[in-house]
Structure 1
Amino acid sequence: MDRMRARARRLRSNPTDAEMKLWRFLRRQQLAGFRFRRQVPLAGFIADFVCLEKRLIVELDGGQHVVRARYDAQRSEALEVLGYRVLRYWNDAVLKQTPEVLEDILRALEDR
């Protein structure tokens, strides 16, 4: 588990542009009071953003995820078995359509 925590710490220290942008809106309970954590080790994976209270995971995918689609689907399925709902967004959508992404996340939070 120490390796996983160290990796999560490195990821928090080196966020992508999309992660930095989304975190500006999710941190400090800015999205309707819901608390998010970032780069959280869960079930052998590291989730980009997690609202533990609502069991919602938000994953941001860059170009490398095109070739990893099967792995990402299996990963999402494993997390869903644990009771989490997984939302996935392309980095490009977060950077260019931020209000729409935030509305979608808020709807998912309110549905849970």
Structure 2
Amino acid sequence: MPLRKTTNRIRGTTPQIEEFARQLRQNLTPAEAYLWEALRNKQLGGLRFRCQHPVGRFILDFYCPACKLVIEVDGGIHQTQLDYDEARTEKLQEYGYRVLRFTNKEVMSDRDRVLQIILTTAQTPFSPESTTP
């Protein structure tokens, strides 16, 4: 007998996290909105990205399920939470995801370079084991 999914939860999220993700999608930062313009509708290499995608207790700025690639756009607050961001990245890598981080400034001042890095990373073969040192 085939296994059936008993919940609509995405990798352990809660209804509250999913609702917060919906709110974030409606209120993107200027840098997130600028990057989303270039990622949405399979514009980058035909890859489908999700915006403000919940995974467990996290909400990922952008996520490409086909290549398990997470894109995070970090504002100024991230300078004060480097340890948290590092732990979050490590946890996502444990889930088997690759994580790329860009600052708001990088996205706003050199989006083409950011997009090239994203595309190159997405096109590079990946196995989750390669994320561990």
TM-score (norm 1): 0.98
Q: Which residue of 1 aligns with 2:40?
A: 27
Q: Distance in 1 between matches of 2:66 and 2:32?
A: 21
2:29 to 3, 16, 24: 16
Larger radius of gyration: 2
Q: Percent identity?
A: 43
Unpaired runs of 5+ residues, structure 1, are none
Aligned residues: 112
Q: Distance in 2 between matches of 1:34 and 1:22?
A: 14
What SS class does the counterpart of residue 60 from structure 1 fall into? Answer: strand
Conserved 8 A contact 1:43-1:79? no
Q: Which residue of 1 aligns with 2:110?
A: 97
**1:10-63 deviation line (CA, Å, top 9, x unaligned):** 100100000010001100000010000010111210000000110000000000
More helix by share: 1
Q: Distance in 2 between matches of 1:80 and 1:102?
A: 21
Query: Deviation above 2 Å: which 4+ runs of structure 1?
Result: none
Q: In structure 2, give the amino acid aligned to 1:6.
A: E
Q: In structure 1, give the amino acid aligned to 2:80.
A: V
Spell out the pairing of 1:1-112 with structure 2 (5 A cutoff).
1-112=14-125
Q: Distance in 1 between matches of 2:93 and 2:56?
A: 11
Q: Which residue of 1 aligns with 2:7?
A: none
